[in-house]
Chains A and B, each alone.
Chain A
Amino acid sequence: MSADFRSKPLIALTDLGAWLLAILWVLPLLYAFWTAFHPAEFAARFDLFSPWTLDNFRRVWEAAPFTRYFANTFVLVSLILVCQFVICTMAAYAFVCFPFRGSEILFMLVLVQLMIMPEVLLVENYRTLSKLGLLDTTLGIALPYLASAFGIFLFRQSFKGIPKELEEAARLEGANALQILLRVFVPVAKPTYIAYGLVTVSYHWNNFLWPLVVTNSVETRPITVGLQVFATVEQGIDWSLVTAATLLSVTPLLVAFLLFQRQFVQSFMRAGIR
């Protein structure tokens, strides 16, 4: 916390400004919230006595297979998270503990993906997936993201901070390379894993363009694409339904965020500080 050297009136003024900005910032969300929980005829009418209703949510739930979309997203995000952890851990371990001639250059090559994310190359990646016969599959959505330069970078960074003595001590006790990784490196880097995990979960929960291109059926569509399919059909007809569907689709992540707010914020900070 920084020291505060502002005068009293200035403090009152900035507090007021901060609060006004905060209200302005949540206004679109509150507006959507209001509309979603009221009957259509009150969609844009602020009457304190207008009746609250869950009817919009019920109709949305009946109109589109949201359960399936949520399940798809859940499977997709879990698959990506687990594979990224394994693949990026292996690569980072290699870069830190088994350097060989040229491995520094390989690491620089990995960093290319920080700039050029798979969705930028979507035309070529779509063709590759179609050759592999993986279009419209959950694995197909996940595959381009499984080796993450960002993950490798973060894990390498935190592995490098681990004292050599810890590794040596484990080796003297007869631990092999895999045991050293699992018993020394991974536990020490746990905060980095949590941070990276939260960042990657929110990234892939929210990802849209690539899944939109790859998926073509209810069985594979994640919630973002499902929401869009629903909203496009209903668009301009019934705002209560569209806002209800939108709120419904963000609820799990929003609830998780509200529960683990501190971890979220700290994780994003940790992932951002190089």
Chain B
Amino acid sequence: MKTSRNALYGSLLLLPAAVLLWTFTYQPILGTLVDSLFSTPRGKRAAVFIGLDQYQRMIDDPVFWKAISNNLIYALTTIPLSMALALLMALLVNSHLRGQAAVRMAYFTPTILPMVAVANIWLFFYAPDYGLVDRFLQIFGWGGHNLLGMPDTALGALIVITIWKEAGFFMIFYLAALQQISPTLLEAADLEGASYWQTLRRVILPLLMPTTLFVSINAVIGAFRLVDHVVVMTKGAPDNATTLLLFYIYQIGFGYWDTGYAAALTVVLLLILALIALFQFGYADKKVHYR
């Protein structure tokens, strides 16, 4: 009797979540896969099955490859740099620092601001002639440039913003982990005559491995999910130098209303996220012990 009662109560309790998850997560995933095999319906012309044509078009589309390479550069720079900074910040704030609370707040504040607001603040910060960045560069004779308007610097300018915003967020997790490390371990290392660097490398960093993994997975998802600053600051310009994959999907889907092609692009994004998930559940969980 208990199992049937459980099944009844359990499924009733799960029903709202199940309906919502089906409608806005699973069904759209399947719908994306199906739509990517069809042409985009236009006016009276209905969608027709075109097999892998959208994917063929994608392979021939230089902007798609640009978006992929931009996104990889973006991920491979923002993630290690913001995590390294986060670790440094956590170590600094965790030591006997004067004005600790104020410093921690300074590091963390960018994190709670919306990316839209951050983008607007930095738009001003980067503005040629007006912005502090340009005025600083003027000292060295490099002033008068629109960093967001030049293909060589635009992506870098966005990377800086992301690091500024994310580092304080990741710091919190490192801080939590650092505070869990038993002081006896550090005292033992000190008694053995270990230097600060040796203690850091041999004791602290290994103990932070689970946190590093957790943070890096969040960071990877973030690098493919958050494109608000692209929308606000550059819209992919100049010459697609700042087009990230999700922004390109947004542009194709809602700028050109080419939903078939947008679906094919979304499939690529889903594959990337699935790969990250497989890595997390399959490989990383076994290699790194969780508490």
A265 to B9, CA, bound (A): 37
Q: How many residues of A contact B (CB 8 A)?
A: 99
Q: Which chain B residues lie closer than 8 Å to A207 at the CB level?
A: 114
Q: A1 touching B112 by the CB < 8 A rule?
A: no
User: Which of A120, A128, A205 lies in contact with B23, CB distance below 8 A?
Assistant: A128
Contact residue among A43, A254, A269 (Cβ-Cβ distance under 8 Å from B130): A43
- Is B155 in contact with chain A by the CB < 8 A criterion? no
User: Residue-by-residue, is B173-187 near A (CB-CB < 8 Å gives 1, otherwise 0)?
Assistant: 101101101010011
Indicate if A81 sits at the interface (CB-CB under 8 A). Answer: no
Contact of A112 with B25 in the complex, beta carbons under 8 Å: yes
B114, A2: Cβ atoms under 8 Å?
no
**A116 cross-chain contacts in B, Cβ below 8 A:** 25, 29, 270, 273
Write the B35-49 contact mask toward A (1 if CB under 8 angstroms, else 0).
100000000000000
The residue from B10, B28, B98 contacting A121, defined by CB atoms under 8 A apart = B28
Of A29, A87, A246, the contact of B17 (CB 8 Å cutoff):
A87
Tell me if B14 and A272 are in contact (CB < 8 A): no
Judge whether A188 is part of the interface by a CB distance below 8 angstroms: no
Contacting pair B228 A17 (CB below 8 A): no
Distance A119 CA – B225 CA, assembled complex (angstroms): 8
- Is B176 in contact with A269, judged by CB distance below 8 angstroms? yes
Give Cα A93 to B6, complex, Å: 11
Cβ contacts under 8 Å, B17 to chain A: 87-88, 90-91, 110, 147, 152
Contact A124–B32 (Cβ < 8 Å): yes
In the complex, A35→B130 CA distance in Å?
Answer: 11
Instruction: Decide yes or no: A120 and B120 within 8 Å by CB, A93-B13, A125-B28, A269-B172 being known contacts.
Output: no
Once A128-B23, A209-B231 are accepted as A-B contacts, the answer to whether A249 and B109 lie under 8 Å apart by CB is no
B186 lies within 8 A of A250 (CB) = no
Identify which of residues 1-27 in chain A touch chain B, using a CB-to-CB cut-off of 8 Å: 1-6, 10-11, 14-15, 17-19, 21-23, 25-27
**B169 proximity list for chain A (CB < 8 A):** 268
B15 nearest CB neighbor, chain A only: A90
Selected interface stretch from B52-60, B73-81, B89-97: B89-97
Contact B89 A6, beta carbon cutoff 8 Å:
no
Interface set, chain B 242-265, CB cutoff 8 A to A: 246, 249-250, 253-254, 259, 262-263
